[in-house]
A = this chain, B = another copy of it.
């Protein structure tokens, strides 16, 4: 590399450090030292390798850059300034209320694909973005800046496994090995070989460099671009706080502004006005367009017994036929979740993620970055494995569709480890989420189709066992709606149920009618948003609500109902799973949990 270029890169990196120090100083908080260590790496990337049109962030040929170490946001924003995307004034609004310069990057900024800040997530999401590139046959590259501390996260190794085995050569991880975590030295310090052995074992091309040497960085990034059939990881030995004596390579300097920022700025050569001309994509790519054919959902005859998970699989296959943008992922249980119906029809749009639920959800998030409509399925219980990823998908405003099968004690003999009993609560708390829980196959199919148009995180809860079809094919079930299944003017209470308990509620209502007690039944298939109008109507007319759910007492359907009607003050009795189930048949489980027809009828009688 010519001396002039080296000089320029050094100036650019110095400015990035200066601006990181200034932004954090102005904010009074933030992570300047974690930014300073990676400044040279990013200077070379921006000046020489990144292909990105900052004026057109939606250009499908743009590379993708993900700061997996999201706390290095001052560096990212300083890069945006150097690229001319933001002003110095906006940079200095760092961490202020209303500013786009948030403490950790979020997609409020048009150049940010996903929110980061929970460590170990950027690389798995980057894997998903790289998977999309292969699907689209667009030669963009995915660059992920990782910290060394976050390599302790298991999710990093799920990503390493998937990318390595799939040979995602369009993915490059750049690890800023600055040796210091938040509270002290990392496990491996500057032993980049320790990381190289690990990534190498997972099938990656590994390069170990001095992360402050522009020539070595240039070589490594070029080598990554020229590597075929393997992802590349660049393990760059760096010094945290590089360039400022006060903090350089010192413990206790994480996540705080410098004490003497002016001195550091001076040490770093003062203010500059270096600009970086980021290359625009060398190729043109049209945004992918899919022909959309008329959707023909599967139809089930009323009275037939079909599991809602089966309807999910068949409806997804139908949706896949109608729309080319639908993709499906599964956690090595596609025969159980029934994603296999889609996988058989559209193998190129199906991704087997094996038993790695974090990567399963992260890949879905990555795919939706590129406009795909992912459905990701596993057992409802095992989605708990990916809760942090689901939470962060909410922060990212990512539109992903999750499907959890084998909900509740109704699975029967397999026992509590396999029972999704916390999933409604877990998904309801996620920002901007939608939670759906069908009770029959036609409803399940309709909701699968409904989900494709939803924004944010949406969730479909399915049941293992067969349940009778009670709705006609083709009926509509809008999100936020409910269905009144039993209602007479003489109703003395209303049972609110969803999924498997709808059938128990109907049976209980029949039993009660024979005892001369009229009760209404509502199918609350949309658990979030909830049909407040229908619940209000029921609460007002009968004054007594009994909620029944195959889920824990906390945070599920019963709480959703109470929340909707709390200001009216009806009496609400919640039936839910409170004990610890063992093995038993599905019918025994429902009885033992106190959520079967007999328990419901008993609860109504005690209430009245």
Q: A294 near B: Cβ within 8 Å?
A: no
Query: Nearest Cβ distance between residue A85 and chain B, in whole angstroms?
Result: 19
Residue contact A334 to B183, C-beta cutoff 8 Å = yes
Q: A280 near B: Cβ within 8 Å?
A: no
Residue contact A154 to B152, C-beta cutoff 8 Å = no
A contact set with B: CB distance below 8 Å: 27, 29-30, 70, 95-99, 101-104, 106, 108, 115-120, 149-150, 152-158, 161, 165, 181-183, 186-187, 197-198, 200-202, 332-336, 340, 354-359, 381-382, 384-385, 387-388, 391-392, 394-395, 397, 412-418, 421-422, 425-426, 428-432, 528, 552-555, 558-560, 562-563, 566-574, 579-580, 582-585, 588, 592
Given A115-B416, A413-B29, A582-B429 contact (CB < 8 Å): no
How many copies of this chain sit in the oligomeric assembly? Answer: 2
Pick the most buried of A30, A95, A103, A181: most chain B CB atoms within 10 A of its CB: A103
Query: Nearest Cβ distance between residue A91 and chain B, in whole angstroms?
Result: 14
Given A102-B583, A187-B165, A201-B201, A553-B562 contact (CB < 8 Å): no
Residue contact A428 to B562, C-beta cutoff 8 Å = no
Alpha-carbon distance A332/B355, docked complex (angstroms) = 27
Residue contact B582 to A572, C-beta cutoff 8 Å = no
Beyond the given A116-B417, A201-B201, A554-B563, could you list 8 further A-B residue pairs with CB under 8 A, ordered by the A residue number?
A104-B417, A152-B161, A153-B154, A183-B340, A198-B202, A387-B387, A425-B555, A431-B579
Given A158-B154, A417-B70, A567-B563 contact (CB < 8 Å): no
Chain B residues closer than 8 Å to A99, beta-carbon distance: 582-583
Chain B residues closer than 8 Å to A382, beta-carbon distance: 118, 388
Chain B residues closer than 8 Å to A569, beta-carbon distance: 569-571
Query: Nearest Cβ distance between residue A540 and chain B, in whole angstroms?
Result: 13
Residue contact B555 to A416, C-beta cutoff 8 Å = no
Residue contact B418 to A429, C-beta cutoff 8 Å = no
Alpha-carbon distance A421/B332, docked complex (angstroms) = 31
Query: 19 interchain pairs (CB within 8 A)?
Result: A70-B417, A97-B582, A102-B583, A104-B414, A106-B582, A118-B417, A154-B157, A154-B358, A157-B158, A161-B187, A181-B354, A182-B332, A201-B201, A384-B387, A425-B429, A428-B555, A555-B555, A562-B566, A568-B571
